[in-house]
Structure 1
């Protein structure tokens, strides 16, 4: 059974510009999905809809067979999904450990160390970290969450090649070993090659890329 399902989902800006057109797709736990497409095609919009940050103009988004609008978008965001935002969305007056503890019941430090931060760095204010380090904190926060779905917007965008590969392996492991549904919006062909399913979003339509 799919954990997330889109049924005829469409989205328009200001009820004029149609960004998404009648998307039907099912996504399962235990798999990593990559969504490719040109800039401005609606990839981040699609991710926002899956995470309950916005509502479709028409159609439904189901979590475990239930419309997320019926159960409440706030509950969906809190219980079902964890985000890796392109802009990090960290609480800037907190340390990395404090940011991770916002979503996790488990100790934060092992997640941060696994992503390459030292114990000392994990206690600094996040604004004193580099952009790449802040991105790792954002990833650690999502990995530490018990939510069954991870939604990642360009998670390797600010990272060097070796670190990007490490992050990709961790995301794959989250899907294959921890049984999560990992959905990644990316421009990286290398990351997409390692996904179980690759979608391409073009002209408002989502297709599986063979």
Structure 2
């Protein structure tokens, strides 16, 4: 059974400009999904709808068979999903450890070290870290969350090729070994190749590639 489902999702600006047109898709726990598409095609919008950050103009987003509007978008965001934002969305006056601890009961250091941060870096203010390090903190925060779904917006965008490959493997492990549903939007074909299923978003339509 799917953990996330999109049913006839349409999204428009000002009821005129169509961004998404009648999208249907199902996503299961224990799998990693990639959504490919050019800039401005609506990938981030689609991720926002899956995460309850926005509502579709028409159609429904289901979590475990229940419309997230019925559950409550706040409830959906708090309990069901964790995000890796392209802009990190870290609390800038806190350390990496404190940022992870905000949303996770588990000790934060093992997750941060797994993402390549040292103990010293984990204790620094996040503004003293590089963009790539901040991206790793954002990923560690999502991995440490108990939410069953991880939604990641260009999670390897600020990372070198070797680190990006490591992150892809870690996200895939979260799906295959921890049973999470991982959904990534990306420009990277290399990252998409790691996914169990790949969608292409073009002209507002979502198509399955793999």
Q: Shorter-chain-normalised TM-score: which range?
A: over 0.9
RMSD in angstroms over aligned alpha carbons? Answer: 0.5
Shift of 1:13: 1.1
- Kindly provide the CA deviation profile for residues 122-144 of structure 1, in whole angstroms up to 9, marking residues without a partner as x: 00000000000000000000000
SS in structure 2 of the partner of residue 55 of structure 1: coil
Structure 2 counterpart of 1:176: 176
Unpaired segments ≥5 residues, structure 1: none
TM-score by length of 1: 0.99
SS in structure 1 of the partner of residue 94 of structure 2: coil
Residue 21 (str. 1) matches residue 21 (str. 2): yes
Structure 2 counterpart of 1:33: 33
TM-score by length of 2: 0.99
Shift of 1:103: 1.1
- Kindly provide the CA deviation profile for residues 102-152 of structure 1, in whole angstroms up to 9, marking residues without a partner as x: 111100000000000000100000000000000000000000000000000
Alignment of 1:1-210 (within 5 A): 1-210=1-210
- Kindly provide the CA deviation profile for residues 161-209 of structure 1, in whole angstroms up to 9, marking residues without a partner as x: 1100000000000000000000000011101111000000000000001
Partners of 1:13 and 1:125 in 2: CA distance: 38
Unpaired segments ≥5 residues, structure 2: none
Partners of 1:24 and 1:116 in 2: CA distance: 37
